Each structure stands twice: as C-alpha cells, then as structure tokens.
C-alpha cells in the first residue's frame, strides 16, 4: 500500500440551520468539503421547523460529495463525528420514524409553556437542577407544547432525540445523545452530567423517552451497512457521540481552558468561556452547559440574530453590493465591509438593535424586535450597514460584560463563524470587548471539532488535548485600540438604553 493510502482520515459533519456541511480531514488539514442545504418551514409567525428526513437526505449527499472530492479510499476513514444545532425536538415513534417536523432552536411558539415551567419549579430550583432558565428555545417547553396542542401525536412518542443525534441514529441504529447537547434540553442535570429525574417528574415526561447519555468523545456506534451504502462511508467506521455546535466550534478553535473565549458570528452569535466547574448565573441571564471536552463546562451568552442580521440587510437593502459582487465575481459581504468602512466608528450615532427574531442574552424576550435609531437626513447607507455590524458586537458585548461581572476568566478571544472572515468585524470586537481577538484557523470550526471528536473516539488521538495540539492553528490577534474604543462609547451607551425604553412596546408589534 502506498504512503498516500496509509493516511488516517477523519470526517466531520455539521448539521446547521441552513444545511449539512461535511468535511474530510487529514489531521487538522481540510482535504475537501461539501454543503447541501435544506429548507426551513414557518407555518405561523414565530414558528420554525425542519424535516429530519431532509437532514438525513442532505447529510447523505454532503458526506458522499466530500468523500468523492477528497480522493480518499473508504478504508482510510477511521471515524465520523457530528456537530449540530441545539435544542430541537426530534420525536420518534417505536419504529424510529419522525412523528412530526422538528421544532427548532429559534422557534418562539412556546412562551406559555416556558412560563409554566418557570412557575412550576421556580427560578432558584431550576438553576439548582439545570443551571439554566426556562426559555422558549429550549427543548422541554417544546414537549409541553406538543402535549398541549397535538395530544394524539404526543401519545405515540417513543424517543426524544436532538437533531445531530437523529443523524447518528441513521448512521448507527443506536438511539443516544451526549452531554453537551443534552445540556440544552432543560431536562438535564448539568452539574452531575445526567438526566434530571426531578425535572422529568415535575413535567411528567417519561424517562423511557430519553436516550442514553454519553460523553462527546465516546463511541455512539459504527457505520451500518445500509448507512455505508447511502453515504460512501466505510461500514464499521467509528461514529463519535459528537457535540452541540457551540461546543464543537470551541473545540475547533482550541478553546478548552479558563481564560480562552470563543466568539462565533454565524446565523446566531455566541460568547463561550470554558470552566473547570459549573457556574450558575444568579440572575439566569447566561447559560451553563457541559463542554464536549471531558470534565469541562462552559458559560455562554447567545445573540439570536448575528450574521443573520447582516444577511437580512444584504437581502433587503444590499442590492448595490450584491449587483457589484455579481459583476466583479467577488463575495458580496466583502463589499458590505467596504461600504461599512466608509462610516466612522459609532456609525455617526446610528444604532441598530439586532433583535430580528427576539433575543436570548441578556433579555430572554421573544417579542424583542430590530430597530434602527438615530437616523437623520445626513445618514447614508454606510452608516446603516456599519450600525448593523456594530449592533451585533454590542449585543455580544452584553454577554462579555456579564461574564466579567461574574469573574469568569477572559484573556483572549478566538473569533469563528462566517463573521470571523471580516477584519472590520474582528477589530470592532477587539475595541468593544477590550480583548485581543484572533481569527480561528479553520473557518468551519464546528466541523473541525466534530472530526476531532471522531479522532478521540476512534483512537486516532489519545485525548482531546492531543487533538487540539495536532489540529488547531489560529491566526495572529488584533489588539484593542483604546482611542477607537472611545469612539464607540456614545453608541454603546445608547444601545444599552434602547431595549429598556422599548421593551413594553415590542409585544404590540
């Protein structure tokens, strides 16, 4: 066998909100990737659903395309790892068939059920049991909504899975989950890393519905013959338990130790800081979840519309950049960067609230909405687009400030997601956060992190620390500029005052 054929390859699959993206990795080097998109259904205002069958169809195509493009042989693939969107409720019948479309993380229909859980347990006990508040995005309120509104279907439920766990089930035939994704269900004792019997009893959720919980680095199973034929993966390849998208993204950025901070600007935005022990925010503004690294936790804040806010601007107001990008054969987001750079720091007083789909941290308000504030006749498009980018950074900074207030170690930031490609956006983060910000070496950090879990599960790496040493190489940081930071201060102060001034009006919109 040639030296080329002796490689040990690892596959990462990231099941996102817009599509499935598969990558084939040789160590930390991406050999090939493929993305296959799927639709999101919005049957009513504030609702968001997807078909698990669509996920599986897209995953099969993405895996096969990535493997074909890599030029690899099946026997070179040692393992597969999955990353996935959190909180979705995949309800299976006894034959393993989905009973309904999955209600997604961004769905806002469950405000009454979330309030009921909060009233039933009380915030103090919820914090003690789960380390988290009762929010519309979490899984438990979705189960109560189905029981309230689709009781006949509810009676047929046999198993609850999270989105990426459904793909693992289709690959291996095993119904399981792992600690990082289970942490976002509101049914999981995050401190003890196990299902909470008290939560299940209080909500009258059958324990038999819940799958076995593994560590993220554990083996969930091996690729079945049917899955191998469908995907091009080798039969018998190890499938790791995998991890939630944010946990896998942190792994792919090498963010494992206190002092490290991962900031991701994808469709949503997150600020994630690892911990050696679980932390409970007394006011329940931040989340605490199990990390995909064994024996680790992390605290996190979430902005529901981050890159999605800039995408909205591109789609609705960005025709000049879109047309010019088409003519030049370049990325339209790079042209939006150019437009934004023509406006000064602080956007001339224009401030944008990026709450286009409600908000989570620190406001936990499904009724919050997007706002442009400070417009006058002198303002131009460059002020608007820059204010969108600044508004996302200000919203992320809310989480940074909360963490600093809770004495969470924060020494340097690794920036990931699509937003990390923008030097302008990263420099804004450095100046507003007051921390150095480096770009993640692999833009698709969650996909890389999933492949690292595959390496740990298959034995290609002896530990997650070894995987990080082998695979992660981040860029040089942008240091904060105190003079630039001062230019943001007036707009940042206005941003902080806008939500309290408008929160009673938002439910009327």
Residue 486's H or E segment, with its range, is helix 482-502
Is residue 128 within a helix (H) or strand (E), and if so which, with residue range?
helix 123-130
- For residues 416 and 253, is the Cβ–Cβ distance under 8 A? yes
C-alpha–C-alpha distance, residues 407 and 68, integer Å: 48
Tell me the C-alpha distance between 296 and 189, whole Å. Answer: 14
* 198 Cβ neighbours under 8 A, 6+ residues apart: 129
Backbone angles phi, psi at 503, to 5 degrees: -60, -30
Compute φ and ψ for 490, nearest 5 degrees.
Answer: -60, -45
Coil vs helix vs strand at 494: helix
Reading the block at residue 414, the tokens are 């690794």
Active site annotation includes 245: yes
Q: Which letter does DSSP use for residue 490 in this model?
A: H
Specify the length of the chain in residues.
Answer: 509
Cα gap 380→123, rounded to integer Å:
45
Rounded to whole angstroms, the Cα distance separating 314 from 128 reads: 43
Handedness of CA 197, 200, 206, 210 (dihedral sign): negative
At 271 the three-state DSSP class reads strand
Phi, psi of 17 (to 5 degrees): -80, -25
Q: Is 428 helix (H, G, I), strand (E, B) or coil?
A: helix
Between CA 324 and CA 318 the distance in angstroms is 10
The helix (H) or strand (E) run that includes residue 10 is strand 9-15
Instruction: State the DSSP code for 221.
Output: E
Which of 245, 260, 281, 398 is labelled catalytic? 245
Burial of 422 (0-12, 13-18, 19+ CB in 10 A): buried
Which positions are catalytic? 245
């Amino acid at each position: 066998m040639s030296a080329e054929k002796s490689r040990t390859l690892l596959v990462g699959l990231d099941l996102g909100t817009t599509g499935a993206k598969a990558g084939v990795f040789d160590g930390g080097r991406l050999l090939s990737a493929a993305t296959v998109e799927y639709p999101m259904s919005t049957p009513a205002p504030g609702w968001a659903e997807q078909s698990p069958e669509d996920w599986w169809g897209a995953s099969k195509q993405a895996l096969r395309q990535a493997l074909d493009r890599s030029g690899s042989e099946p026997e070179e693939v040692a393992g597969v790892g999955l990353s996935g969107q959190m909180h979705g409720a995949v309800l299976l019948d006894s034959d393993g068939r989905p009973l309904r479309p999955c209600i997604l993380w961004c769905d806002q229909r469950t405000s009454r059920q979330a309030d009921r859980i909060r009233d039933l347990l009380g915030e103090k006990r919820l914090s003690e049991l789960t380390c988290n508040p009762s929010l519309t995005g979490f899984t438990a309120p979705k189960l109560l909504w189905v029981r309230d509104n689709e009781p006949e279907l509810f009676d047929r439920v046999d198993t609850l899975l999270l989105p990426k766990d459904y793909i693992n089930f289709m690959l291996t035939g095993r119904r399981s989950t792992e600690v990082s994704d289970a942490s976002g269900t509101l049914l999981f004792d995050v401190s003890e890393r196990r299902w909470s019997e008290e939560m299940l009893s209080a909500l009258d959720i059958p324990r038999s519905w819940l799958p076995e919980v593994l560590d993220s680095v554990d083996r969930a199973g091996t690729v079945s013959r049917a899955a191998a034929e469908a995907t091009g993966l080798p039969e018998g390849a190890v499938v790791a338990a995998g991890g939630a998208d944010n946990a896998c993204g942190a792994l792919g950025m090498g963010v494992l130790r206190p002092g490290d901070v991962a900031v991701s600007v994808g469709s949503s935005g997150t600020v994630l800081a690892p911990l050696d022990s679980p932390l409970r925010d007394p006011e329940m503004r931040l989340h605490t979840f199990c990390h995909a690294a064994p024996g680790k936790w992390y605290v996190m804040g979430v902005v529901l519309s981050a890159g999605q806010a800039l995408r909205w601007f591109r789609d609705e107001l960005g025709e000049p950049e879109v047309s010019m990008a088409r003519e030049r054969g370049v990325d339209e987001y790079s042209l939006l960067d150019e437009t934004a750079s023509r406006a000064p720091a602080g956007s001339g007083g224009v401030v944008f609230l990026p709450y286009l789909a409600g908000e989570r941290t620190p406001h936990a308000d499904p009724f919050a909405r997007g706002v442009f504030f400070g417009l006058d006749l002198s303002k131009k498009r460059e002020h608007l687009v820059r204010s969108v980018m600044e508004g996302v950074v200000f919203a992320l900074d809310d989480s940074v400030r909360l963490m600093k207030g809770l004495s969470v170690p924060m020494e340097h930031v690794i920036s990931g997601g699509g937003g990390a490609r923008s030097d302008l956006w990263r420099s804004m983060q450095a100046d507003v956060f007051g921390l150095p910000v480096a770009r993640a070496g692999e833009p698709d950090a969650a996909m890389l992190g999933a492949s690292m879990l595959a390496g740990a599960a298959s034995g290609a790496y002896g530990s997650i620390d070894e995987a990080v040493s082998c695979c992660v190489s981040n860029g040089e940081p942008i240091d904060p500029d105190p003079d630039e930071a001062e230019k943001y201060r007036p707009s940042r102060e206005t941003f902080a005052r806008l939500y309290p001034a408008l929160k009673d009006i938002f439910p009327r919109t």
